[in-house]
Amino acid sequence: MAEFKDFDFELMVAEALIYGAGTPTPVFGIDERSRAAPVGDLHSHVYDNGWEHSVLDESRAYFEALEIGGELPATVDELVLDGGNQVFCGCSPVRDGEDDLFDVRSPDDLPLLPNLRRVLGAGTVAVPDKTERFAARGVTVVC
């Protein structure tokens, strides 16, 4: 199983695998989970509790426990980093995408994706000298 150091990097990989490739399953859906727990309207619940700029605890727990192992990390050859990624909507359902909540802060997890070749929308990668550091691993960064 891949052991990610950067939670936000793990979310990028989860986006590629769950919402892009369809594995692992099931797809995480905060709307369904909030209906199962009696929170009423999810968006109102988030605002009422001041969670609009944070990752919901249930979402964090789900993705931290998600096992991305075996050959799955090797199947990822491209990451698309966009404020509207589905994984972000599941973690912070009322976020407008205009903050740094999901910025990748470390390149330390790159070795977990041996076939990664391209990162699109890398404006959310807050790594100094990211283009050079990713290029050293054979990864093209497109902002």
pTM: 0.86
Query: Which residue shows structure tokens 């249930």?
Result: 58
Strands 118-120 and 140-142: parallel
For residue 39, the model assigns a pLDDT of 67
Q: What is the pLDDT of residues 94-138, one digit of tens each?
A: 887 778 899 999 889 999 999 999 999 877 788 889 899 999 999
Residue ranges of domains in the chain: 7-142
